[in-house]
DNA sequence: TCATAAGCGAGACGGTACGTCGTGTCTTACG
DNA sequence: CGTAAGACACGACGTACCGTCTCGCTTATGA
């Protein structure tokens, strides 16, 4: 029986064999070091003491491999703990995104560019990355509703991702990486006024 | 007298010979079609019926060429006309960015990833792209201050680029390209509440 | 009792289990179809519905496998019947070689090239192929001596294999495969004049 | 203007640029050292300090490259000088073939096997190799006719290549490489009796 | 008017990554 | 235990792209 068959899908998301996990982590390591297009499959393979066939059996191209690795990295981000207030939760969330953006700043631009070209990659990316982000944001907002800090109707389906989007964009930005001050400003001057505004 | 000598730097920014303009526009065309890393210099050269030497004489690498082309594309965006109100100006600005994002959605991710690797490219990118964006935003805000719609102290140096950043991010986003509704929501539910908030 | 134990070496040459015979014949089939280096072990294994381990347990490399298969093929060539005359025997022998060359024309070049590299394979090849050929030729010549057609001293140890060698060479030859006329000419114009020459 | 255009076809056979000659000679060197299928294009390229593209631009596959190199090697064999007698000429010719076979013994089997698979390679091989051999043999025989040693009608179109064929076969033969004695025996005991036989 | 020089198209070239495929080793589960 | 199935490391193949280079051609000025 093959390695893969040992897997047991106990929850949502793919369940990876050990070899797959190891390959993805090696890939992620290199992705963070060198960015998307300086990363080479040969180097991944050399570091993991693996064979190209072993990689290409699972992921049909470099793009698939890298997107899978990226998703694997994202999947490990924890939930946001309840700090007791909306402001605290948002600041915490912002700082988590900040940390994550710091390590993959060089990578995500290339990854997203790659993702735009393939519906298959798009599906993976959407499921693993966007949905995870959305869940983070919505859990924070739900808690705020429960606390009575905001009303449900200020939560927009259109721009729920403003906070992560801006942090990621700034992480991409070559000359203005985001700082803690960026988070504070964004939360205090933009998000809170927006979420607590009096609706027309 | 050589082509290059025809150039006359009459203002800020480079002054391009006809050949250079043509090469950049061909590059831009391909960049929009295929994205950064599927674009090949050979294809640029073939479309422009040029020679690789002609390209590499001017731009020492593919990255330089593409960033120059990208900057050339950005340089052509007009100023935002005065619509009479802050809200009108912001909506108009959002729609301009929307249009621009639509065509370069596949490109800018790769470009930004590339830019992160080279200080020289970073300088070009910053000057041509970020400064132009900042000027657009600030001109809109200054007009609003002049009209008395907002006070100068709500204008942040930290997150002045929230609008363009979010539009660009969504343009990058494979499954959620921005729409006009995105702009309206962003302006009405976020930017205006933030800009007209009562300062603590 | 295992398959292997069924074997009983009753005479010279290896005694093969059924599985081994089947594998060699599948190999031979493919060898005749595709030649030495386009033949793949995977394809042999697939056709025989066997496992690579099963093959490699018996023959330590592709070369060993193919040479064994080749030898197996050669082993099945019958003896030359007595036609009553040297000329008839030689023509018959030539035609047997012709038939055999027709099917392995694409194979023997590669096999011989491979054999040159390994003393072990050389021994197998020599025993199975050359010795068998020599015995065929010598049996024909001995009969001719018995009939009084030739004297023993015209039989050379140096070039006893002229007939098979030439037929094989021509079978290898891409544009001039041997025909029956080739055999007749060789026998009548070369071999018989040589064998019946008056010795100096 | 490209290198190739510098060529001027002054005689039969292709005229090679310097780079081509160098690549073929490197290939030939490796072919003699390692035989057909242990030869790698990467090694050729490394030794010649060339690029794979440079090789594959000219020869679309390893097989084409090797056959071209082989032909290039054959092309350099000189003519057979007039020794004054048919026997002397044949012995000389035999020894030339002997020398050539010694160095390419490991190679020619693989080459011929390869040649059998492609009509294109067959054409090259036939033109460069067989025709050259035929001309050598026929020049020797013509001189013998001129000297009155033999009559034209003993010269067969069917088996003119008996001498080279046998020498090559024995060069291929793993356990019986040809020697000078082989040549002498072949000439004295077979070829001369055949060529000077009284016709029926 | 002509020559000298500079830019140009064309494209060969060295290098390197990609993705495919074949060999020989190994492991797992079945009979 | 032998076998079918097939994953795996290794490494070659043939393709494609980048950035460098050389070749003649054209054009455009300066003698």
Query: For residue A172, is pLDDT > 70?
Result: yes
Q: Which nucleotide is nearest to C40 (CA to C1')?
A: E22
Write down the pLDDT at residue D11. 47
Task: Using pLDDT thresholds of 50, 70 and 90, give the confidence band for residue B13.
Answer: low
CA distances from D141 to A47, D150, D191 (A): 66, 8, 11
Contact C113 D35 (CB under 8 A): yes
In chain A, residues 153 through 172 whose Cβ sits under 7 angstroms from any atom of nucleic acid strand E: none
DSSP label of B186 = I
Q: Tell if C16 CB is < 7 Å from nucleic strand F.
A: no
Contact D110 C109 (CB under 8 A): yes
Picking from D36, D125, D190, the nearest residue to C174 by CB comes out as D125
pTM: predicted TM-score of the whole model, two decimal places:
0.85
Write down the pLDDT at residue D13. 55
Instruction: Report, as an integer, the average pLDDT of B63-84.
Output: 90
Which chain C residue is nearest to residue D104, measuring alpha carbons? C113
Q: Tell if C139 CB is < 7 Å from nucleic strand E.
A: no
CA angle A50, A53, A56 (to 5 degrees): 105
Per-residue pLDDT tens digits for D32-69: 999 888 999 999 999 999 999 999 999 999 999 999 99
Q: Tell if D39 CB is < 7 Å from nucleic strand F.
A: yes
Per-residue pLDDT tens digits for C124-152: 898 888 898 999 999 999 999 999 999 99
Picking from C37, C126, C166, the nearest residue to D175 by CB comes out as C126
CA distances from B164 to A131, B95, B136, B149, D174 (A): 23, 10, 10, 21, 76
Q: Which nucleotide is nearest to A45 (CA to C1')?
A: F9
Report the candidate in A136, A107, A21 with the shortest Cα–Cα distance to residue A72: A21
Question: Per the structure block, which two tokens stand in for B55?
Answer: 């390209």
Write down the pLDDT at residue C6. 45
> What are the residues whose beta carbons fall under 8 Å from the beta carbon of A62, sequence distance 6 or more?
A39, A41
Q: Does C181 reach chain D within 8 Å, measured CB to CB?
A: yes
Write down the pLDDT at residue C200. 58
Q: Which residues of C touch D175 (CB under 8 A)?
A: 122, 125-126, 130
Picking from D105, D174, D194, the nearest residue to C190 by CB comes out as D194
What's the burial of B6, exposed, middle or buried (CB within 10 Å: 0-12/13-18/19+)? exposed
Least confident of C90-99, D77-86, D163-172: D77-86
Q: Does C139 reach chain D within 8 Å, measured CB to CB?
A: no
CA neighbours closer than 13 Å in the CB half-sphere of residue B97: 32
Report the candidate in A149, A194, A131, A101 with the shortest Cα–Cα distance to residue B162: A194
In chain A, residues 59 through 78 whose Cβ sits under 7 angstroms from any atom of nucleic acid strand E: 60-63
Highest-scoring range by mean pLDDT, D11-25, D68-82, D105-119, D139-153: D139-153
Write down the pLDDT at residue A74. 86
| C173-194 core/surface letters (b: 16 or more CB in 10 A; e: else) | bbebebeeebbbbbbbbbbbbb
Picking from C109, C130, C175, the nearest residue to D109 by CB comes out as C109
For helices A18-34 and A86-115, give the axis angle rounded to 10 degrees.
90
| A150-170 core/surface letters (b: 16 or more CB in 10 A; e: else) | beeebbbebbebbbbbbbbbb
Nearest chain A Cα distance for residue B20, angstroms: 26
Q: Does A126 reach chain B within 8 Å, measured CB to CB?
A: yes
* Helices H / strands E in chain A, number of each: 11, 0
CA distances from A46 to A23, A52, A61, C131, D50 (A): 11, 9, 17, 49, 25
Cβ contact C83:C96 at 8 Å = no
Write down the pLDDT at residue B183. 98
The whole-angstrom separation of Cα C51 and Cα A168 is 51
Write down the pLDDT at residue A196. 93
Write down the pLDDT at residue D172. 87
Query: For residue A64, is pLDDT > 80?
Result: yes
Instruction: Report, as an integer, the average pLDDT of B174-192.
Output: 94
Per-residue pLDDT tens digits for D104-122: 777 888 888 888 888 888 8
For helices C86-115 and C62-75, give the axis angle rounded to 10 degrees.
170
The whole-angstrom separation of Cα C186 and Cα D166 is 13
The whole-angstrom separation of Cα C13 and Cα D160 is 38
């Amino acid at each position: 029986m093959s390695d893969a068959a040992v897997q047991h899908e106990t929850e949502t998301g793919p369940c990876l064999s050990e070899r797959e996990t190891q390959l993805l982590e090696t890939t992620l390591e290199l992705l963070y070091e060198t960015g998307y297009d300086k990363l080479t499959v040969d180097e991944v393979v050399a570091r993991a003491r693996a064979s190209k066939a072993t990689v290409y059996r699972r992921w049909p191209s470099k793009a698939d491999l890298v997107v899978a690795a990226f998703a694997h990295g994202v999947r490990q981000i924890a939930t946001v703990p309840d700090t007791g207030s909306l402001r605290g939760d948002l600041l915490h969330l912002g700082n988590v995104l900040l940390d994550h953006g710091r390590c993959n700043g060089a990578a995500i631009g290339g990854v997203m560019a790659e993702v735009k070209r393939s519906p298959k990659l798009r599906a993976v990316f959407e499921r693993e990355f966007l949905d995870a982000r959305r869940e983070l944001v919505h859990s924070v907002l739900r808690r705020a509703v429960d606390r009575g800090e905001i009303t449900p109707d200020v939560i927009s389906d259109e721009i729920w991702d403003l906070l992560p989007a801006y942090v990621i964009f700034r992480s991409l930005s070559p000359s203005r990486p985001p700082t803690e001050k960026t988070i504070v400003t964004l939360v205090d001057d933009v998000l809170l006024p927006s979420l607590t505004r009096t609706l027309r």
